[in-house]
Amino acid sequence: MRYGKLTNKIVSLLAGGLVFGFAKGRRQRNEILKECDRIWLSIDRNQLFHALNVLKLGKFLEIKNKPDGTKYISLTLKGKNRADKFLLQELVIKKPKRWDKKWRIVIFDIPEDRKNLRDALRRRLKVLGFAEFQKSVFAFPYHCEDEINILVNFFGLHEHVRYLESTLSYDSDLRNVFGI
């Protein structure tokens, strides 16, 4: 699609509100707002209005009129699904300069009837850089609770996933994996 990058920017802006709602920490909310500002300022206005019409025709968003004459834009379910997938692909965990010597551990027990979601979560954790302890236990050395919350919300696995921060004894194997 000719407007692929621009439509992704627009959907990202609209989805920023969705992610903002899931963000627990002030740090992540500030990062979301900065990223939205950066995207907003990079968009050419003529292309923006054309792309909005393309997205509206594709049923990714709705443009509605308020009683006071102003307009507002909202994502449709199709648009939210596209935004979620885009945001999931763009999800990264920022690594601080210094390690705080705590491990972030993700533990999950997802039933067999949700095997596809379990495998998708496992793949996404590996993409984010987690080390696999066991099939359902992953470790990472840096703060990532907000990112894990995004994954859990995306996959709808609230009852099945736990996030822990802890020190570990005999962690030299993990330190080697992460080069710390």
- In sequence order, the β-bridge partners of residue 61 are 75
Is 153 a member of any domain?
yes
Residues 157 and 108 in one domain: yes
Joined together, the tokens standing for residue 11 give: 């959907």
Residues 137 and 170 in one domain: yes
Is the pLDDT score of 1 beyond 50? Answer: no
User: What's the CA gap between 9 and 21, in Å, rounded?
Assistant: 19
Structure confidence by residue, pLDDT tens digits, 107-143? 999 999 999 999 999 999 999 999 998 889 999 999 9
Is 95 a member of any domain?
no
Range from 22-26, 47-51, 140-144, 173-177 carrying the lowest mean pLDDT? 22-26
Q: Which domain holds residue 82?
A: 4-90
Is the pLDDT score of 173 beyond 80? Answer: yes
Is 26 a member of any domain?
yes
CATH number, residue 65: 1.10.10
Query: Domain end: 33, 62, 90, which one?
Result: 90
Spatial contact of 108 and 155, defined as CB atoms under 8 Å apart: no
CATH number, residue 136: 3.30.70.240
CA dist list (Å): 127 to 11, 90, 163, 176: 23, 11, 17, 18
Residues 82 and 134 in one domain: no
pLDDT at position 21 is 65
Residues 82 and 114 in one domain: no
What is the pTM for the complete model shown? 0.66
Is 108 a member of any domain?
yes
pLDDT at position 87 is 74
Number of structural domains found in the chain: 2
Residue 85 or 102, more confident? 102
Half-sphere exposure of 23 (CA within 13 A, CB side): 15
